[in-house]
Amino acid sequence: MRPAADQDLSSLLALYGELNPEDAPLPQGSAEGILAAVFAQEGRTVLVAEADGVVIGTADCIVLPNLTRGGRAILFVENVVVTGSLQRHGIGRRLMEAAVGLGESAGCYKVQLLAADDEYVHTFYESCGFMALAQGFRRYIEQDGSTRTMA
């Protein structure tokens, strides 16, 4: 486990393609600019799991300052994915342990994430010590400015 670096861009894009296969690929220039913006965000860490020099998993983590809970921050985790051929080998669990470690280091009072409505995914996060304690809500914003409420 380590923080992602510029040279991981193609591997990250491949993993995100597995996570969201319906998404159109990003043009290289756009992807490079977005990754630079991600790396520039204070409190943001894109973790990668690597085996034999190959990136095989990732979790995007951001620490958000917070005015409640005695000023303790919140760590949000998004875009967790392990390449399909290596799922169920403990890689995702190690990614989540690393994410929780980031939260502990930053003095966060909780680590929070949203999970797909999938029993396997819920079981995985519960096995990592997460509890389903709240109902999540989303409102997607389309490129034309309209909104939709479906996944």
Report helix, strand or coil for 62: strand
For 134, phi then psi, to 5°, come to: -145, 160
Q: Which domain holds residue 87?
A: 2-148
**Which pLDDT value is given to residue 5?**
97
What digits encode the pLDDT tens for the residues 19-45? 999 999 999 999 999 999 999 999 999
Label residue 99 exposed, middle or buried (CB < 10 Å: 0-12, 13-18, 19+): buried
What digits encode the pLDDT tens for the residues 71-93? 999 999 999 999 988 888 999 99
Query: What's the one-letter identity of residue 84?
Result: G
Q: Considering the chain, what is the average pLDDT of its residues?
A: 92
Structural domains in the chain (count): 1
Model confidence at 150: pLDDT above 80: no
- Residue 107: CATH number of its domain: 3.40.630.30
